[in-house]
């Protein structure tokens, strides 16, 4: 393979897509975990946990923050910080929250797909020391929260509070 092809960046882009839409080895992706969750179910929480809707807002925040950091910027400034407060009070509000999540993923994915491998060891603003570390962290973050959503969605279906 010619040395100028962005093999690692393409792998990160593929892994992001899998962690978000499906085909991840660890289990359900974010979208798979959210399948069948409606506005009412999105308000599910257990023993003081965040709700599914709050987790979706949190994921949107960090996917957007990751894209911004890749571009040399800082996380977005939103009310509630990285845990936007409030659950959707209607099916439309839930759909909007899901659309924001999808949009944040698409923007990040496009940015990573266009990334030059030579930048993977560059420093990045924020807690992660390098672009590679940021991308690995985002993948871990997606997997962690997909697991939370799976448990909360199961509890909602079974009527556990």
Domain ranges of the chain: 7-157
Contacts of 62 (CB under 8 A, 6+ apart): 75, 82, 138, 141
pLDDT of residue 3: 53
Q: What are phi and psi of 82, to 5 degrees?
A: -80, 0
Does the predicted TM-score (pTM) go above 0.75? yes
Q: Tell me if residue 120 falls in helix, strand or coil.
A: coil
Contacts of 16 (CB under 8 A, 6+ apart): 105, 108, 109, 112, 135, 138, 139, 142
Runs of H (alpha helix) within 71-130: 91-113
Contacts of 154 (CB under 8 A, 6+ apart): none
- CATH fold for domain 7-157: 1.20.120
pLDDT digits (tens, 9 = 90+) for 105-143: 999 999 999 999 999 999 998 767 899 999 999 999 999
pLDDT digits (tens, 9 = 90+) for 48-62: 899 999 999 999 999
């Amino acid at each position: 393979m010619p040395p100028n092809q962005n093999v690692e960046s393409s792998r990160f882009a593929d892994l992001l897509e899998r962690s978000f839409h499906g085909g991840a080895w660890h289990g359900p992706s974010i979208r798979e975990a959210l399948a069948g969750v409606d506005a009412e179910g999105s308000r599910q929480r257990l023993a003081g946990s965040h709700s599914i809707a709050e987790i979706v807002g949190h994921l949107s925040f960090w996917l957007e923050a990751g894209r911004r950091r890749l571009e040399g910027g800082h996380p977005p400034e939103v009310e509630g910080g990285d845990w936007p407060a409030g659950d959707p009070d209607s099916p439309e509000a839930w759909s909007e929250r899901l659309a924001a999540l999808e949009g944040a993923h698409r923007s990040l994915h496009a940015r990573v797909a266009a990334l030059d491998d030579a930048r993977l060891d560059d420093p990045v603003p924020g807690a992660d020391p390098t672009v590679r570390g940021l991308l690995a962290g985002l993948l871990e973050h997606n997997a962690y929260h997909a697991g939370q959503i799976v448990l909360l969605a199961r509890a909602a279906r079974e009527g556990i509070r």
